[in-house]
Amino acid sequence: MYKNIIFNLDTIINSSKDELYEGISDILSAVKEYDRKVMLVSSMSSVSVCRILEDKKILHFFDYIGNSNFTDSLEMKEEAIKNISTTGITAEESVMISDRKEYINMAQKCDIDAIGVLYGAGKREELKDAKYIVQTVRELFILLLTGRDDLVLNEIQNYF
């Protein structure tokens, strides 16, 4: 199981509805109970991200919030991911969760496993390079807490 869980903001908050994806606070709570580090990387300023997370009453779950110095460039986002190494957690112990191809690619450049999520804006084709792809928050929950993608596959098969 991963010791360091890295989210991007779009995998936590459904921006079109301005609300948390259902089940996200359960995931955050559970991974913290297992003494995992929860981190967030965003192109927004840390101050803005903290305000959003505080408004949603989930700021206390996060151990680290990295930003890309107010720019949306891929290089700066990648730098924000690399800065996570300053927390003492290694790439092998980390996983990036995203619904965006650029975050999946950045994680790979930093030797971090990636989980692509389809419950956000991501499409399966653009997330194909992720180590895992999940369709729902429930599948993400199962994968993060067990580390077993076979249980996620069972969940998908039971759905159909």
d(CA 143, CA 153): 10
Q: What is the pLDDT of residue 57?
A: 97
Higher per-residue pLDDT: 153 or 98: 98
Total structural domains in the chain?
1
CB neighbour burial string for 109-126, b if at least 16 within 10 angstroms, e if fewer: ebebbbbbbebbebeeeb
- What's the CATH code of the domain at 84? 3.40.50.1000
State the pLDDT at residue 124.
93
What is the C-alpha to C-alpha distance for residues 60 and 73, in angstroms, rounded to an integer?
28
Q: CB atoms < 10 A from the CB of 83, how many?
A: 15
> What pTM, to 2 d.p., does this model score?
0.84
Which band of pLDDT confidence, cut at 50, 70 and 90, is reported for residue 106? confident
For the segment 100-104, the average pLDDT, to the nearest whole number, is 89
pLDDT value of residue 68: 56
Mean pLDDT of the chain: 83
- Mean pLDDT for 118-122 is 88
Give the integer Cα–Cα distance in Å for 41 and 155: 29
Residue identified by tokens 């389809």 is 118
pLDDT 10s digits, 58-76: 999 999 887 755 445 555 5
Instruction: For residue 16, give both structure tokens.
Output: 């079109």
Residues spanned by the domain of 10:
4-159
